Amino acid sequence: MGSFFSLESPLYKFMTRLLDMLKLNFLWLLTGGPVAMFLLEFFLAKYGFGSYRYLSFLPLVLIGPATTAVFSITLRMVDEQEGYIGNDFFAAYRENFKKGMIIGVIMLVAAYAVWLDFQFYHAAEALNKSSTLYLVLGIVATVLTFLHLVYAFPLQARYENSIINTLRNSYSITIKFIVKTVFMVVILALLMAVFTWNSTTQFLGILIGPASIMLTISGFAIQAFRLIENENERRENSSEE
């Protein structure tokens, strides 16, 4: 019984990791804009400024630095490197604030463009007009957005690089490890299905959902990063010889 509750027991490790995920998720919600967005929307509606609801989305410009900071922690988690969640998160948040914010804004703009295109598609369908072009553009935009951004935040968290090169590298890694990436998407879809299953799992999704998704991506990203790092190291060693 004593070993079951020891510091090395699976139960203790699980509870520790769960607590870390709760902390990470709270920090992401607090510093990434979601909490501020809902509070701002509440006050705008309460004081009769509902027509300015679009202003509530402004805090989301901070989603990039917060997401990068979470990835800086989750990449170490899957690499079995321990650390202090709070201190390490805020250190990474400050370090990646500018570049993380720019990548985050790019992500938001791309997501809005994709959403808008599909809105045009549905509007054209409702009016019995030709909608094939909107559908094709929406699918292409979705794929390109995914290719360039799925590994962008982990790359920003792990390496020092320009924003353009980070987006290019995300695209290259996705293509290079396309099978693993597709498998990752399947797992993420299953996670999303679980977190939206009912009111109970939706509450769980609020508590740990975003952090769980980023931890899952980190698990696949770190494998790709290690393989590429090993390839580069072998290439450098062979050139020196």
Contact 184, 216 (CB under 8 A): yes
Q: How confident is the model at residue 6 (pLDDT cuts 50, 70, 90)?
A: low
The predicted structure's pLDDT at residue 167 = 96
Tens digit of each residue's pLDDT (9 = 90 or more) over 126-151: 777 777 888 889 899 999 999 999 99
Task: Outline where 96-241 has alpha helix (H).
Answer: 97-126, 132-149, 152-158, 163-176, 178-195, 199-240
Nearest to 173 by CA among 149, 202, 139: 149
C-alpha 78/C-alpha 57 separation (Å) is 32
- Is the model more confident about 153 or about 121? 153
**Can you give the residue ranges of every domain in the chain?**
8-234
- Is the model more confident about 166 or about 241? 166
The predicted structure's pLDDT at residue 232 = 81
Nearest to 84 by CA among 69, 95, 63, 101: 69
The DSSP output letter for 198 is: S
C-alpha 166/C-alpha 99 separation (Å) is 10
Give the Cα-Cα-Cα angle 11, 77, 91 (nearest 5 degrees). Answer: 125
Taking CA atoms, 147 is separated from 45, 92, 113, 143, 176, in Å, by 37, 24, 16, 6, 11
**pTM of whole model > 0.95?**
no
User: Residue 102 pLDDT > 90, yes or no?
Assistant: yes
